[in-house]
Chains A and B, each alone.
Chain A
Amino acid sequence: MSLDNILNHWSDYRKGSEEGGHHDYEHRWAMAINLDICNGCNACSTACYAENNLAVVGKERFEKGQAMHWLRIERYWDQQDKDYPEQGASFLPMMCQHCGSATCEPVCPVAATYHTPDGLNAQVYNRCIGSRYCSNNCPFRVRYFNFYSYYESAWPEPMEQQLNPDISVRDKGVMEKCTFCVQRIRTAKDKAKMEDREVQDGEVMTACAQACPTSAIVFGDTMDENSVVSKLWKKHQVERGVYAKTKLAKKDKDLRGYRIFEELNVDPSVMYLDRVREDI
C-alpha cells in the first residue's frame, strides 16, 4: 500500500542529490572532450545527423534558429587574443551534458524527461507535450524543439532509406536532444546480457566519438574505474559533485579538465580539456 510505502521509505525518499539521492546507478555514461585536438571540422555533428535521424531544416529556418543540430560546434574568438590571430577560433563541441542534477528535469510538467539508471538524461518523445520549459531552463541551450513537421521535407525520396531504423523520426511539437546515442548503449547492453558479461569499455561508442578524426571525444562509463573516461576524469581531478572552487585551489598546469557551468551545481557528465595556447 502506498501509505506503507511512504512510511517505510521516508528517509530514502527525502534524499536530494547532495546526500546521494535514491538512484541506484548501473552505469554513469560520460564524456571527455579534448579541445586541444579538436579542429572544428564538424564531422561529429554530421555523424550525429546521420545516426539520430536529425532533420535538415534548410537555410531559412537555420537562420531563424530553428535548426536541430543536437551537437553543435561553437566557435569563439578571444578578444584578448588579437596578438595571435593566426591561432584562429577556439572550437567547442556542445551537446547535452547529461547533468546529474539536470535543471531541465524538475520543470517538465508531465515527466517527459527523466534520469535513467544509466545516468542519462532521457527524453520521452511520446510523453512530451511541448511546453518547452526544459529548454528554457537549460543553461547550455542544447534542447531542440520540433517547430515544424520537419520530416515532411528533410528526407525527399529516396533519402528516407538512410534513416536509422533503431530510433524514431520526431513529429512537430516535441522536444529532443542528444541521447548519448542511447540506441547504441541499448544494443551493447543487450549483447552483453546475452553473453552474460558486463559491458566492456570501448564497446559503446557514440556516433560523434566514432566520427572524430582526431579522437578528441572519448565516451565511456565513469562507474567503471578502468575505463579511459574514468582515468581522464581522475587525471584532471574532475569529479562528480565536486565543483570548480575546490579544484582551482590546486595550481597545476596539467589540470586542464573542467565542466561547463560547474558553478551552477548541475553536475554535467561531459568534461572538457582546455585548449593549450602558446605562451610568448
Chain B
Amino acid sequence: MSKKRIMGLFSDFEEAHDAIADIRRNAVPGLTVDNVTMTSPIEHPEVEEILGDRPVHIQKFTLFGAIFGVTFGFLFLSGAQATFLVQPQGGKAVIPLPSNFTLMYEMLIFFGVWFTFFAFLFLSGLLKKRSALYSEKVSLDQVAIIVEIDGSLDEPVKELFQKHKVLEIREEVVQ
C-alpha cells in the first residue's frame, strides 16, 4: 500500500485542536498523533500541547557553545599572551585575568549565540525544499493539519476532517 499525506485546512483553531484531540483518542484506528503535523500562522503553545510531548534540544547546543566559548576564550587568550611577551604591559601581568575575563564573557555569548542559531537551523527542519502540501493561507490565518497515513486510512481521516469543518483537503502520494 502506498503512503500518502493529507492536509486539511481549518479556519477555526478550536476545531483544529479538537480534530487532533480526536486523533489522539484513536478516532482513526492505525493513525497515531506522531504522524500528525500542524502548521499555523502564529505560535500556539496551547494547541501544540495536544500533539504530545515533542522535545526540543536547542538548549543543549547553547550550553555546549557557551562552555566552548569560555574555555576556548581563556586558552586562546592566555596562550596568545604567553607566547607574545613583548606585548605592552604597562606594569600589568603577562596574563591579566580581569581583561581576559571581559573577553571570555564576550566569547561565551558569541559562541553561545552561533551554536544556538545553527542548532535551530538544523533541528527545526528548515533549509529544506517545501513540499507541495503547503498552503499560502497558513501564513495568513488558517491552520493546517497534515497526517501521514497508509492509503487505506484515506477515508476515515477525511471524514474526521469534515466533522471538524475543514475548508479544504489536499493530498499527495509519498514515494
Contact = CB atoms under 8 A, between A and B. Distances in A.
Interface string B73-101: 00100110111111111111111010000
B83 A115 contact: no
Given A3-B75, A6-B95, A13 B90 contact: no
Interface string B83-127: 111111111111101000000000000000000000000000000
Query: Which of A6, A17, A22, A105 lies at the interface centre, i.e. has the most chain B CB atoms within 10 A of its CB?
Result: A6
Interface in A230-280: 266-267
A16 B75 contact: no
Interface string A101-132: 11111111001011100000000000000000
A197 interface: no
A101 B91 contact: yes
Contacts of A162: none
A114 B81 CA distance: 14
B79 A106 contact: no
A242 B156 CA distance: 93
B86 A114 contact: yes
Given A13-B95, A14-B95, A6 B82 contact: yes
Interface string A136-159: 000000000000000000000000
Interface in B121-155: none
A115 B95 contact: no
Nearest to A103: B90
A6 B78 contact: yes
B79 A267 contact: no
B82 A21 contact: no
Interface in A89-111: 99-108, 111
Nearest to A23: B89
Nearest to B97: A14
B88 A2 contact: no
A9 B83 CA distance: 11
A79 interface: no
A102 B79 CA distance: 24
Query: Which of B75, B84, B94 lies at the interface centre, i.e. has the most chain A CB atoms within 10 A of its CB?
Result: B94
A15 interface: yes
A168 B87 CA distance: 22
A106 B89 contact: yes
Given A5-B82, A14-B95, A114 B87 contact: yes
Nearest to B88: A105
A11 to B, nearest CB: 10
Contacts of A17: 89, 91-92
Contacts of B85: 22
Contacts of B92: 16-17, 101, 106
Contact of B88 (A9, A13, A16, A106): A106
Contacts of A16: 91-93
A13 B91 contact: no
A102 B92 CA distance: 10
B90 A106 contact: yes
Contact of A5 (B83, B87, B90, B91): B83
Contacts of A2: 79, 82-83
A267 B93 contact: no
Interface string A195-219: 0000000000000000000000000
B104 to A, nearest CB: 15
Interface string A1-39: 011011001101111111001100000000000000000
Contacts of A106: 88-90, 92
27 contacts: A2-B83, A3-B75, A6-B82, A9-B82, A10-B95, A13-B95, A14-B95, A14-B97, A16-B91, A17-B91, A17-B92, A22-B85, A99-B90, A101-B92, A104-B88, A106-B89, A106-B90, A106-B92, A107-B90, A108-B88, A111-B84, A111-B87, A111-B88, A113-B88, A114-B88, A115-B89, A115-B90
Interface of B: 75, 78-79, 81-95, 97
Given A13-B93, A102-B91, 11 more contacts: A3-B79, A5-B79, A6-B82, A13-B78, A13-B81, A13-B95, A22-B94, A106-B88, A106-B89, A108-B88, A111-B84
